[in-house]
């Protein structure tokens, strides 16, 4: 009996320990998602409730802020307001979409063939050029700020969307991610196609693109999240407010219009979340490749 | 007919694949950077090869503050991030809810910075959530966005955003450990902690170097949070290199900005080459 209890106690302790890990992890996950929870509960609050709750931040009241996780009177007024009566919001939203889509399309056309070149061909200076690409991929914006400004100024395209799109299009990170995808295609596969008479472009289009699609999608998902969030480049190269992307427009709305800020934030969040959940596997693949070289 | 064949020959050449991207890279990155390098070595009296810009840089108080803050930020954040994310990854590695928890922890990476600015204000405001939480333990409220503590807002933002990313890197490294090895250890009677200590951690050593370097490189993106929370002139402890560059840029102090840029580029090239050597090392 004693022994039985001892074993049972040990077992319970083991189970507790096992769940303890999961519970701590769950707690961490909740903590990480807490800001998003605040956003979701805030957006359905009425203007009055927001104003009361945020009075101390707005400087019209004393004491602490109130924030009921369950809104008193749920309402969709802020979302309706911003979607129906704020034309400038639509302009800014589509600016963001346009910039992001153009960058990604451009990257696809420039980076995919280049990555194929690195993975499949040998040419003089390959090692040096590859190192150059890796260095450029990791350079922060601070370093490239003045160089980009000089060339964009010389091309006379400052304060146009092109000024943001063109340098980002030539980013070398997608080349690297796609390269990893292409490099894993077995050599025999390509040799077989070549023996059957396929030329370079046929091999690339019919073998390379489908088999390397993992790397390409990783690059697109990581790229979308990056450029949807882009701040430094538009801040430096755009002057006209009507050309701003969402990421620059959003912080300009004052705290008094808390409802509008929340609604705009939510709308900005939706496409990013969609891409995140649709492409999570590719995202993880891309991260793993960017850090550990495949 | 003949010219058609010639065109086809050009089209099929391997250079056709690479010329568009190479042109873009040279036009938008390499050439303008060389121009900046030239400018950084040029003083006002048009004497080539003078180090006057670099000397000015070092005497500039704002530059030293920004470098100091950046170094301090990197020094605090990276160890913290590495340890926390490794702990989470080790937990996740054995968890049954791995898929779900991984999504939840990775989610902040996809959240655009502008979206969380409002929430950050709610949390870090003097009467905000964090101070309310600290109040539960009867700790004194801190002015997170104003004074010295602003630095921690940066640290928390950085960790919040990069935790999932780093965790996925660790998990990828762990996935490479052969399953048979862990099972053999289990059969031989080692418990979870023993197998982590003797088998998992040692095999993560090569990954550790690259993850450190990748985190270092990512830490330069924290300017977004700093700017969106505190604007162009943040509290002193939050003043980063990008703020300084922006202010120089507005005042058109191109000599300083080019010297600063080149100095940073040298540091980054060095770190990148280090990273490449890690990659090339046979494992």
In tens, the pLDDT along A248-292 reads: 888 888 777 888 888 899 999 999 999 999 999 999 888 888 765
Q: Inter-chain contact B127–A64, Cβ cutoff 8 Å?
A: yes
Kindly report the nearest CA distance between residue B185 and chain A, in angstroms: 18
> For chain B, what is the HEC assignment?
CHHHHHHHHHHHCHHHHHHHHHHHHHHHHHHHHHHHHHHHCECCCCCECCCHHHHHHHHCHHHHHHHHHHHHHHHHHHHHHHHHHHHHHHHHHHCCCHHHHHHHHHHHHHCCHHHHHHHHHHHHCCCCHHHHHHHHCCCCCCCCCCCCCHHHHHHHHHHHHHHHHHHHHHHHHHHCCCHHHHHHHHHCCCCHHHHHHHHHHHHCHHHHHHHHHHHHHHHHHHHHHHHHHHCCCCCHHHCCHHHHHHHHHHCCCHHHHHHHHHHHHHHHHHHHHHHHHHHHCCC
Which CATH number covers residue B196? 1.10.3720.10
Least confident of A187-196, B47-56, B205-214: B47-56
Smallest CA-to-CA distance from A181 within A139, A220, A238, A140 is with A220
Rounded to the nearest angstrom, the minimum Cα separation between B261 and chain A is 5
Q: Which of B114, B207, B210 sits opposite A268 (nearest CB)?
A: B114
Contact B271 A138 (CB under 8 A): yes
Distance from B89 to chain A by nearest Cα, in Å?
A: 10
Nearest to B25 among A63, A136, A269 (CB): A136
Return d(Cα A100, Cα B62) in angstroms, integer: 34
Q: Which A residues, 75 through 104, put their C-beta within 8 Å of a C-beta on chain B?
A: none
Neighbours of B143 (CB within 10 A): 14
Interface-testing mutation among A18, A29, A116, with chain B (most B C-beta atoms within 10 A): A29
* Out of A64, A129, A247, closest to residue B114 by CB: A247
Provide long-range contacts, Cβ within 8 A and 24+ apart, for A152-156. Answer: A152/A237
Over residues A104-117, the mean pLDDT reads 94
Q: Which residue of A has its CA nearest to B15?
A: A117
| Residue B47 placed within a domain | no
Distance (Å) from the alpha carbon of A212 to chain B's nearest alpha carbon: 16
Q: What is the mean pLDDT of chain A?
A: 85
How far is the alpha carbon of A1 from chain B, nearest alpha carbon, in Å? 26
Chain A touched by B282 (CB under 8 Å): no
Proportion of chain A above pLDDT 70, given as a percent: 90
Looking at the DSSP bridge assignments, the partners of residue B42 are B48
Residues in chain B, total: 283
| Distance in angstroms (rounded) separating the CA atoms of residues B260 and A147 | 12
Q: Which of A27, A102, A113, A142 to mutate to test the interface with B (most CBs of B within 10 A)?
A: A142
Query: What's the pLDDT score for residue B121?
Result: 81
Q: Does residue A102 register a pLDDT over 80?
A: yes
Report chain B's mean pLDDT, rounded to a whole number: 83
Nearest CA in chain B to A221: B110
What would the pLDDT profile of A207-234 be if each residue is shown by its tens digit?
A: 899 998 988 999 999 999 999 999 889 9
Q: Output the pLDDT for position B29.
A: 92
User: How confident is the model at residue A294, as a pLDDT?
Assistant: 38
- The whole-number pLDDT of residue B1 equals 53
What mean pLDDT is predicted for residues A185-193?
A: 88
Q: Evaluate if residue A107 carries a pLDDT over 80.
A: yes
Q: Pick from A116, A147, A272: which is nearest to B110 by CB?
A: A272
Whether B32 is in a domain gets the answer no
The pLDDT of residue B22: 93
- Of residues A254 and B106, the one with the higher pLDDT is B106
Under 8 Å CB pairs connecting chains A and B tally to 273
Q: How many independent structural domains does chain B possess?
A: 1
- Do B111 and A24 make contact, defined as CB atoms within 8 angstroms? no
pLDDT mean over B31-45: 84
Residue A60 has pLDDT above 70, yes or no: no
Q: Where in chain A is the domain with CATH 1.10.3720.10?
A: 80-292
Task: Using alpha carbons only, give the angle A217, A220, A224 rounded to the nearest 5 degrees.
Answer: 145
State whether A114 and B125 contact (CB < 8 Å): no
Residue for token pair 């191109």: B254
B168 and A293 within 8 Å at the Cβ level: the answer is no
User: How confident is the model at residue A12, as a pLDDT?
Assistant: 73
**Closest Cα of chain A to B168: distance in Å?**
7
> For residues B140 and B148, is the Cβ–Cβ distance under 8 A?
no
Chain A CB contacts of B129 under 8 Å are 65, 67
CB contacts of A113 in chain B (<8 Å) are: 16-18, 20-21
pLDDT of B17 strictly over 70 = yes
On chain B, the residues whose CB falls within 8 A of the CB of A280 are 103, 106
Q: Nearest CB to A135: which of B32, B116, B272?
A: B272
Q: Is A288 on the interface with B (CB under 8 A)?
A: yes
In three-state secondary structure terms, A250 is: helix
Cβ neighbours of A101 (radius 10 Å): 14
Domain extent for B102: 71-280
Q: Identify from B11, B32, B261, B275 which residue to disrupt to test chain A contact, counting A C-beta atoms within 10 A and taking the largest count.
A: B32
CATH class for the region spanning A80-292 = mainly alpha
């Amino acid at each position: 009996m004693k022994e039985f209890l001892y074993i049972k106690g040990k077992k319970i302790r083991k189970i507790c320990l096992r769940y303890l890990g999961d519970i701590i992890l769950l707690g961490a996950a909740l903590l990480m998602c807490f800001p998003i929870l605040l956003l979701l509960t805030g957006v359905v609050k009425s203007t009055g409730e927001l104003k009361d709750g945020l009075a101390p931040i707005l400087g019209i009241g004393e004491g602490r802020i109130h924030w009921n996780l369950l809104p008193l009177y749920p309402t969709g007024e802020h979302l309706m307001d911003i979607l129906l009566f704020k034309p400038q919001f639509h302009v800014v939203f589509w600016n963001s979409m346009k910039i992001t889509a153009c960058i990604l399309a451009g990257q696809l056309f420039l980076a995919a063939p280049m990555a194929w070149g690195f993975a499949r061909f040998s040419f003089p200076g390959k090692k040096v050029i590859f190192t150059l690409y890796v260095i450029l991929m990791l350079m922060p914006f601070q370093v490239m700020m003045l160089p980009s400004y000089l060339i964009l100024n010389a091309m006379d395209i400052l304060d146009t969307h092109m000024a943001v799109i063109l340098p980002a299009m030539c980013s070398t990170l997608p080349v690297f991610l796609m390269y990893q995808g292409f490099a894993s295609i077995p050599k025999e596969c390509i040799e077989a196609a070549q023996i059957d008479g396929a030329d370079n472009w046929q091999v690339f289009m019919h073998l390379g693109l489908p088999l390397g699609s993992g790397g390409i999608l990783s690059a697109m998902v990581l790229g979308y999240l990056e450029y949807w969030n882009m701040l430094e480049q538009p801040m430096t190269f755009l002057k006209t407010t009507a050309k701003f992307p969402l990421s620059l427009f959003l912080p300009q709305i004052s705290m008094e219009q808390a409802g509008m800020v929340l609604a705009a934030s939510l709308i900005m969040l939706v496409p990013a979340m969609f891409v995140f959940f649709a492409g999570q596997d590719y995202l993880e693949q891309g991260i793993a490749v960017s850090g550990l070289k495949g | 007919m003949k010219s058609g064949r010639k065109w086809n020959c050009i089209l099929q050449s391997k250079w056709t694949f690479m010329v568009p991207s190479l042109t873009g890279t040279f036009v938008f990155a390499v050439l303008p950077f060389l121009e900046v390098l030239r400018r950084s070595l040029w003083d006002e009296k048009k004497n080539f090869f003078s180090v006057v810009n670099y000397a000015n840089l070092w005497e500039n108080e704002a530059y030293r503050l920004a470098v100091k803050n950046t170094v301090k930020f990197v020094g605090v954040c990276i160890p913290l991030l590495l340890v926390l994310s490794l702990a989470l990854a080790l937990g996740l590695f054995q968890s049954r809810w791995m898929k779900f928890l991984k999504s939840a922890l990775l989610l902040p990476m996809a959240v655009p910075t502008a979206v969380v600015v409002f929430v950050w204000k709610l949390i870090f405001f003097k009467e905000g959530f964090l101070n309310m939480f600290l109040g539960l333990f009867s700790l004194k409220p801190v002015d997170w966005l104003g004074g010295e503590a602003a630095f921690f807002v940066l640290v928390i933002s950085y960790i919040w955003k990069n935790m999932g990313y780093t965790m996925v890197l660790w998990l990828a490294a762990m996935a490479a450990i052969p399953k048979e090895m862990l099972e053999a250890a289990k059969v031989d009677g080692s418990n979870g902690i023993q197998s982590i200590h003797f088998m998992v951690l040692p095999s993560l050593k090569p990954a550790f170097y690259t993850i450190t370097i990748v985190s270092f490189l990512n830490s330069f993106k924290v300017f977004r949070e700093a700017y969106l929370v505190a604007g162009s002139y943040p509290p002193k402890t939050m003043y980063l290199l990008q703020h300084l560059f922006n202010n120089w840029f507005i005042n058109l102090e191109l000599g300083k900005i080019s010297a600063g840029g080149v100095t940073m580029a040298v540091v980054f090239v060095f770190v990148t080459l280090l990273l490449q050597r890690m990659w090339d090392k046979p494992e």
